[in-house]
Amino acid sequence: MCARKFRNPMQRPRESGFTLIELLIVMVILVLLASLVGPRLFGQLGAAKGKAARAQIEMMGAALDAYRLDMSRYPLTEQGIAALFVAPVDPAAAAIWRGPYLKKLVERDPWGNNYIYKSPGTNGEYELSSLGADGKEGGTGDDADVLSWK
């Protein structure tokens, strides 16, 4: 006959797992890592939005130049950058319009503010700008304006 081991009913079976102290130590380590890495990661996010705004302004500048080649002028301030995407109503202008000059109309910068378009501008034939994170003229860092003429 086979000898069987019987457990005492009052004795609890040993369960494997982590103790509360081990879990707390791991949580403290994770919080410390997050506090070191988090600010650097969010700092890069602002710089990435500035680079995205610069790239969008350059892309729209190329589209504006293509529009000018076809129409012999830049869109007026009243027309805005929507003129790159929507055909003119005037039949004579619609006949020479070869758009859309953008695959997708981009009206807002990475911070959610509208791009500002002026034609004619004071710094060139047109001005295209983003006011940065704060949405106000001027500023430094993430709040700095992104300008087509600089």
Rounded Cα distance between 90 and 51, Å, is: 37
Looking at per-residue pLDDT, the higher value among 100 and 143 belongs to 100
Q: In whole numbers, what is the pLDDT of the chain averaged over residues?
A: 83
* Model pLDDT, residue 27: 92
Rounded Cα distance between 108 and 129, Å, is: 11
Residue 127 pLDDT > 70 = yes
What CATH fold (topology level) applies to the domain 43-147?
Answer: Glycoprotein, Type 4 Pilin (3.30.700)
Q: What mean pLDDT comes out for the span 41-61? A: 82
* Model pLDDT, residue 44: 67
Q: What mean pLDDT comes out for the span 32-58? A: 80
Q: What mean pLDDT comes out for the span 98-118? A: 87
Output the pTM of the full model: 0.66
| Nearest one of 90, 67, 95, 92 to 80, comparing CA atoms | 67
Rounded Cα distance between 102 and 62, Å, is: 9
* Model pLDDT, residue 140: 78
